[in-house]
Amino acid sequence: MTRIAAVHGTLAPHRYDQSAITDMVARRCLPRGADRHALDRLHRAATVRARHLTLPLDQYEALDGFGAANDVFVRTATDMGAKAVREALRLAGLTPADVDLLVFTSVTGIAAPSVDARVAGRLGLRPDVRRVPMFGLGCAGGAAGLSRVHDYLLGRPDQVAVLLSVELCSLTFQRDDPSPANLVATGLFGDGAAAVVVRGSARPGDTPGPTIVDTRSRLYPGTGRILGWEIGDSGFQVVLDPGIPDVVRRHLADDVRGFLDGHGLKPKDVSAWVCHPGGPQILDAVGEALELPDAALDISRRHLAEVGNLSSSSVLHLLRDTLADRRPPGGTPGLLLAMGPGFACELVLLRW
């Protein structure tokens, strides 16, 4: 089994209360003089108290089009990504020269050379480092990235891999777009990054984190239009169907129980649920589908309230917080899970 050696999460530099962000969205997205009752209601319903943003609030109104926003993404993602990887390697007791594979996931900007190549140059990773940039997985990207790192290290157990996620969701908010999907997104998503260092089973070193036991990916046919992007002249326009919680209720329980059953486990055996906080209704649907105790998703709800949904980075922040604040008993199983466009679910079975 592969083992998680270190997890480091970081947040964008500018922190604002939800009410201040709502005021910015009203100026940027609603017609002049429009009634903002629906916007205020949707932002309150997100249960988010504050978020970290890439830019100061007064600079978002000056972003003129996709090109300007993406330029900020490339610059900031490289800076934040390099800092996250550097600190994760330090926590793992490793150096940039030790990294054999760098996997990068994001759904909030694009770059060529990709952000992972820029980070590799910034940190001085070896010229022969393998790189896998992944785009389009959305909120599932953190869990999917761990799965792909695990797959790689099963074949190269003497190596070290790093997963990097950077999501600058605020740069995708659509100007002059009062659609319900855009208003929901502007009340829910924040900006952050995370890096995870993973050792193969034959790689020596102190690794206090959990082992990755197994992974599972699941695509749900006929759900491809309920979550994702419509990409137009103004950039990434969010697709966010209100029926997503019903899809979770319909499918998740069978997938999780079937996955656990293959390892002789039941949901009641799981000592910690590291569940991506897609939103309050998604967390409610997960809890109902799996019949979890009320406290099982407390860390996810707290994360959502404190920093919002960081897309693929959130589940990695939650992994860090679980290890730091609520470390489960040694030898017990944990389940890391996230859902994203496809519509898809990613499951990672851990042993603490």
- How far, in whole angstroms, is CA 199 from its chain's centroid? 21
Exposed, middle or buried: residue 204 (CB in 10 Å: 0-12, 13-18, 19+)? Answer: exposed
Tell me the pLDDT band of 107, cut-offs 50, 70 and 90: very high
Sign of torsion, CA 134 135 140 142?
Answer: positive
Pairing mode of beta strands 101-106, 160-168 = parallel
Residue 206 has pLDDT above 80, yes or no: no
Structure pTM?
0.95
| Rounded (10°) angle between helices 37-45 and 18-29 | 140
The predicted-structure confidence for 175-199, as pLDDT tens digits, reads as follows: 899 999 999 999 999 999 999 999 9
User: In angstroms, rounded to a whole number, what is the distance separating the alpha carbons of residues 133 and 114?
Assistant: 7
- Is residue 143 pLDDT above 80, yes or no? yes
Q: What does the pLDDT look like over 74-91, one tens digit per residue? A: 999 999 999 999 999 999
Q: DSSP letter string over 196-245? A: EEEE-TTS-S---SPEEEEEEEEE-TT-TTSEEEEEETTEEEEEE-TTHH
pLDDT for the residue numbered 1: 81
Distances (CA, A) of 246 to 76, 223, 251, 341: 36, 11, 9, 15
Query: Which residues have C-beta within 8 Å of that of residue 237, sequence separation ≥ 6?
Result: 174, 177, 181, 182, 229, 230, 231
| pLDDT of amino acid 43 | 96
Angle at 307 between CA 320 and CA 7, to 5 degrees: 15
What crossing angle do the helices spanning 314-325 and 141-155 adopt, rounded to 10°? 80
Q: Which of 52, 53, 114, 126 is nearest to 89 (CA)?
A: 126
Q: Which residues are catalytic?
A: 139
